[in-house]
Amino acid sequence: MFIGIALVFVGWVLFALYSETPQQRRQKQLAGEPAVPKSAPKPSASVPVTQPEPKPSEPVQTPPAEQPKPAESKPARQKPAAQIHVVQTGETLSSIAGLYYGSPADWQKILDANSDILQNPSQIRPGMRLKIPPK
C-alpha cells in the first residue's frame, strides 16, 4: 500500500511539473505566429533625382560643420514592476514559476512575494491574484 501511495505522489509531482496549462499553450501558440506580415516594398518606376553639378564660375558651398551634441545622460534603469497573475484551475506555484521564470524551482519567489495571502503552497486556489516579482 505504501508503494501505491508513493507512486501516486510521484505521478502527481511529475504531472504538476511537466503538464502544460491552457495559458502556456496560448503563449506557445502566440509565439509561433508572426505578429504582422511584412509586405515587400513595391518597385518604383520613378527616375532617381540627381543634384545639378555646380557651374565652374559659382563657388562651391559646403555645409557648416555640425556642433557636437552634449552628452545625453541616460535615465537610471528602473526595476521592473511586479506582474499580477490570476491563478487558473490546475496551476501550482511551480507551474507558474516555470511560466514566468523558466524554472519551476523558483516557486519560493512567488510564495515570498505573496506572504500576505499565502503561508504555504497548498493554499493556492483558482481566481487568486498573485504578485509575480521580476527575475
Query: Does residue 40 form part of some domain?
Result: no
**Cα–Cα distance for residue pair 86/82, rounded to 1 Å:** 13
pLDDT tens, 72-88?
A: 655 655 656 778 999 99
* Residue among 31, 17, 131 nearest 85 (CA): 131
Q: Considering only 28-32, 37-41, 103-107, which range has the smallest mean pLDDT? A: 37-41
Query: Does residue 35 form part of some domain?
Result: no
Query: Does residue 58 form part of some domain?
Result: no
**Cα–Cα distance for residue pair 15/19, rounded to 1 Å:** 5
**Cα–Cα distance for residue pair 123/92, rounded to 1 Å:** 10
pTM greater than the 0.75 cutoff = no
What pLDDT is attached to residue 10? 84
What is the DSSP secondary-structure string of the chain?
-HHHHHHHHHHHHHHHHHPPPHHHHHHHHHHHS-SSPPPPPPPP-SPPP-PPPPPTTSPPP-PPPPPPPPPPPPPPPPPPPPEEEEPPTT--HHHHHHHHHS-GGGHHHHHHHTTTT-SSGGG--TT-EEEE---
| Whether the predicted pLDDT of 20 surpasses 80 | no
Query: Does residue 45 form part of some domain?
Result: no
> For position 85, which CATH number holds?
3.10.350.10
| Whether the predicted pLDDT of 32 surpasses 70 | no
Query: Does residue 62 form part of some domain?
Result: no
Query: Does residue 75 form part of some domain?
Result: no
What pLDDT is attached to residue 56? 60
- Domain extent for 91: 1-29+80-135
pLDDT band at 108; cut points 50, 70, 90: very high
- The position carrying cell 560643420 is 65
How many domains is the chain partitioned into structurally? Answer: 1
Query: Does residue 108 form part of some domain?
Result: yes
Query: Does residue 50 form part of some domain?
Result: no
What pLDDT is attached to residue 13? 77
What pLDDT is attached to residue 85? 93
pLDDT band at 1; cut points 50, 70, 90: confident
